[in-house]
Structures are given as C-alpha cells and as structure tokens.
Amino acid sequence: MLEGFDISDSDIDIAGKQTRMEVAYGSGDGDEELTAVVAKREAELGTIFDQSYKQWEGILGPRWMRNYSIYRHHVYGIFTSKGHRYYHPFVRLTILVIFLASLAPIPLLFFSSLLPGQDGDFLSKMWGINRYNLWGQVLGYFPRNLCMWPLLTALVVGGMISDDRKNGTSALYFSRPINRFDYTIMKYLSVFAILGFVIVFSYFAYYTSAIVFRGESWAYLVDTLPIFLSGIIAGIILVMTYTSLGLALSSISQSRFFAAIGFLSIIYGTKIIALLIEMQFDTTIMYILSPYDCLAHFGQFLLGLDLNYEHPLGFSVISLIFMNVISVGILVSRVSSMEVTRE
C-alpha cells in the first residue's frame, strides 16, 4: 500500500511503469499519435421552401354549410363520435334511457286499448287523449320534470361551450369564416334539436299512438288537434327555456360540471325554496323564480286546465321572458368576449 494513497501494489504495473487504469484507458505511449477519423461527405445545401401564407383564391362553401358543420358535430355525436363531438358512453346510455322512458306510456297505451272500456272510465282517463294527459306528457312533474328533462339538459349543455373555452377550440372556429353570431346560433340549435327530439317527439308519438291504437276517426282528430298544438307550444317553450339557461351557464365557465350542476341547482333549488315559502307563508308568489313552475303555470293556461297557482298568470309569463332574455344576453356577451386564442 502506497503511503498517502489508497492504492495497492497489485494496481501498479512495476515492469511497464503503468497503472492498470492507464493501461485500460490507453493513457500511455502511442496515445498522442491517435487521430480522430471523421467521415468525409460532401455537404449538400438544403432546399429552402417558400412557407409564406397564401390566401385561398377558390370559392368558399356557402354560409349554411359552414354553420351546419357545427350543428352536425354536436348532434351526430350522440350517435357516433367518429368525426363528431365525443360523448362519454355513460352519457349516451343515460340519454338513451331517458328517451326510452319518455316513450314508456306508448306500450301502456297499447295494452289499455286492448281492454274493454268506454269514454270516461279509468283507462281512458289514464291513457286516453285529454288535456291532463297531454299536459302531463310535457310538463308533468314526476318523473319528467323531476328527473328526466333536467338531467337530459344537464348532460347535453355541460360541455357545449365550456369545452371550447377550455380546449381552445374557439380559436379554431373564429379563425375561419364563422362569425360569433353563427357560432352562437348553431350551438343553440344543436341543444334545442337534441332536447326537442326527446321531449317534443315523445309527446307527438304519444298523441299519434293514441289515435291509431284506439282507432279514432278524423272527427276526433280535428276535435283534439287544438289541445295537441297547445301541448306542442308548451313543449317548445320548455325546450327553449332550458336551452337558454343551460347554454348561459356553459358559456360562463371552462368546466362542464359547473354548467351541469349549476343548471340542476337552479331547477331544483328554486323549486324547493318556493315550496318552503308556500308551506310557511301560504303564498305561491315565489314560484315565479322557478323555471319549471312558470312553465307549468303557462302550460296549464295553454291547455285550458284549472290554474293551481294563486299568483296571476302574467307574473309567470313575465318571469319566463325575463329568464330567457337574461340567459341569452349572458350567452351572447360571453361568446363575444371569447378570444381567438386558447383561454
């Protein structure tokens, strides 16, 4: 062992005067004469391509085609995500369950038509065509407006605009010949079409099935057509109100959960508060804050039913108008403030 160094005698090559480390790494004689061999290849200059922006000189597609692509992206995504908006399989399954549940009265209507019965009996009142049944197909509280319609709206509007804000898709939209007005209208129509297909179509299917299963005459069809059209109007107003509220919430935040939970909170929260105030103070005036109760109140008027709210009908109508105007105003304002960059 050399004094002062942690090196043993076996680590030194006494004869060659080189340590094993030097031998291993070639740090001895001849190392100075080594030269690096570099592959020699004639350098070639790369081609410089012109990558400057060239304006499109062709013919742009018509305005309706550009707008339809937004509509198709969201509506067709319910059926297939290939090339369209992605909906989680659970969301698709829930929408399918809601749609099938909305059609559940039709088989019951068919079975009731097979049993003997006359106008005015229990089966006719439950499954026939009358003002109460048609009102209930659209505005009945349980299960439609307690579970089905609010949940359907929350699932559809959740990421309708908030995903564009979060993922920067708005930059893709607005950097192309799509203005903010068209963008807003197409988003609105996309939600309106999905909700309308489930709500209004199920109502239409119930009415036509009742006519066919019971073998009603053309005279019966003419007699019941006014209340049927009144129900259609009530359904359209419901879809329009839920669409306005949902899209306004979706445009505020980048989170789809904020829009969904916020919408459900408004629908259920205002209903519960109004109910508690009615129980405590015996007044229905606070129901003007509830979107559902305003719709139910106006729907009762449209279908000629007895009004079960004490406050004037005009209060509910004004409240509905106010809800839609404010919601659309928020939606337009938020879309107008969206930058052509990722937020």
**Residues 173-204 pLDDT 10s:** 887 778 899 999 999 999 999 999 999 999 99
Give the residue-averaged pLDDT of 323-329.
98
Number of domains in the chain: 1
Is residue 35 one of the residues assigned to a domain?
A: no
Is residue 288 one of the residues assigned to a domain?
A: yes
> Is-above-0.85 flag for pTM?
no
Is residue 317 one of the residues assigned to a domain?
A: yes
Segment holding 298, helix H or strand E: helix 291-302
Within 8 A by CB and 6+ apart from 250, the residues are 157, 158, 159, 160, 161, 162, 256, 259
Tell me which residue of 73, 248, 92, 247 sits closest to 169, measured CA to CA: 73
**Average of per-residue pLDDT values in the chain:** 85
B/e letters for 45-81, b = 16+ CB within 10 Å, e = fewer, are eeeeeeeeeeeeeeeeeeeeebbeebbeebbebbeee
pLDDT at residue 46, as a whole number: 61
Is residue 72 one of the residues assigned to a domain?
A: yes
Is residue 137 one of the residues assigned to a domain?
A: yes
C-alpha span between 162 and 254 (Å, rounded): 4
Look up the domain containing 171 and give its range: 63-336
Q: Is the pLDDT of residue 37 over 60?
A: no
Q: Which two tokens stand for residue 339?
A: 């930058």
Confidence of residue 294 (pLDDT cuts 50, 70, 90): very high
Confidence of residue 13 (pLDDT cuts 50, 70, 90): very low
pLDDT at residue 82, as a whole number: 82
Is residue 291 one of the residues assigned to a domain?
A: yes
Is residue 48 one of the residues assigned to a domain?
A: no
- The CA R_g of the chain, rounded to the nearest whole Å, is 35
Q: Which two tokens stand for residue 258?
A: 């904020």
pLDDT at residue 34, as a whole number: 47
Q: Is the pLDDT of residue 7 over 60?
A: no
Within 8 A by CB and 6+ apart from 126, the residues are 112, 133
Per-residue pLDDT tens digits for 146-176: 999 999 999 999 999 999 988 888 878 887 7
Is residue 68 one of the residues assigned to a domain?
A: yes
Per-residue pLDDT tens digits for 207-217: 999 999 888 88
pLDDT at residue 263, as a whole number: 97
